[in-house]
Amino acid sequence: MPGKAATCGRIVAIGGAEIRSGDLDVLGHFVACCGGHGARVVVLTAASREPAERNRDYAAAFRALGVEEVAFFHQEHREEASDAALLAAVDAADGVFFTGGSQLKLVSTIAGTPLEARLRARYFAGMTLGGTSAGASALSTVMIARGEGRVAARLAAVRMSPGLGFVPQAIIDQHFRERDRLGRLIAAVLCNPGMLGLGLDEGAAFVLDPVGCLSVVGRGTLTVVDGSALEATNVAAVPDQAPAAYAGVRLHALCAGWSYDLATREGCELAMAEFEREIGFDRLAAVHANDSKIPLGGMRDRHENIGEGHIGYAGFREIMRHPAFRDVPFLLEVPGIEGGGPDEENVNRLKAIREELGIPAPGPAAATPA
């Protein structure tokens, strides 16, 4: 399994019910981002009122996914977020996972503690963070602390507070379709139009890469509520119980295989659509493959080894996952592990991603245009 990019880690946010449904696909994406079967995972149950039950459930789930090194820690009180054994486990972990429960309980217990500081440092050093249900909501910048479903967009439907802020400029909601939470997410965005609302159905998840592009995985839908083009709203003038009026809110519904760029607020699929329109996938003969030393928009071409730059393994996974790229060869132009140009290690990294996705290598004829 390939290693991590030399940049901040990945975020895997899950809409909930992955244990109850018995569908571990989305949890498997978290494991893959952590490095696969040999990963060291820490599970934090601070959100839960039933930590022993969560420990049992996730021990079995991670064992079924081939992960043997899993440590569980519960934080009922803030002083427990300073525990030396907990901090040492986070230091050694490839990934940390927040279970469901109450996002307000989770954030009020660990925000501002040595645990939060250590999580932040490890995340920006490349560690993966994941969360399900309340654990997903807590990852956002502005958090829905409590709220109502099955109602129109109104202030009374939502109570907000700061989240942990690992997903920038976002408000994450979960159990979205199952509990009919569109109204409350729109209300949250109307109050914070600079934030992006992200509503995850049960069994759906997104993987956020270091470049700021999120990819949808699992079953179900990610609903995106974008208030950046909001033209007008009366949310500040109407009574809390009254429905709010608004114009200019954009909605997107994304399912597995679709991506979305948080920086530009455009789907990564738009680039694929433009390529198909202007050139055509039938004319795609090969991919010039390298990672990038320069972030998106840096306006310089500086190559990096596969997985060590700002595209990262998650970016290459999404490229290789797209049907247009499945049967074409990738031609490497990278510095090389010892600075000697394309080498076997970089080739093996791309092969490992193909194997992870279950995609056979293209045959010799694949480089010939149709």
Active site residues: 133, 175, 202
Q: Which of 173, 188, 182, 197 is CA-nearest to residue 151?
A: 182
Sign of CA dihedral 170, 173, 176, 180: negative
* CA-CA-CA-CA dihedral for 252, 253, 258, 264, to nearest 10: 20
DSSP 266: B
Facing residues of 217 across strands? 205
What is the amino acid identity at position 8?
Answer: C
d(CA 291, CA 301): 10
The number of C-alpha atoms within 13 Å of 34 and in the hemisphere containing its C-beta is 31
For every residue of 109-153, DSSP letters joined together read HHTTSHHHHHHHHHHTTT-EEEEETHHHHTTBSEEEEEE-SSS-S
Quote the CA–CA distance of 168 and 280 in Å, as a whole number.
35
Q: Rounded distance, CA 107 to CA 105, Å?
A: 6
Q: Cα(108)–Cα(134) distance, rounded to whole angstroms?
A: 13
Residues with Cβ within 8 Å of residue 236, at least 6 apart in sequence = none
CA distance to 88, 123, 215, 261, 336, per residue, from 209 (Å):
25, 12, 8, 10, 23
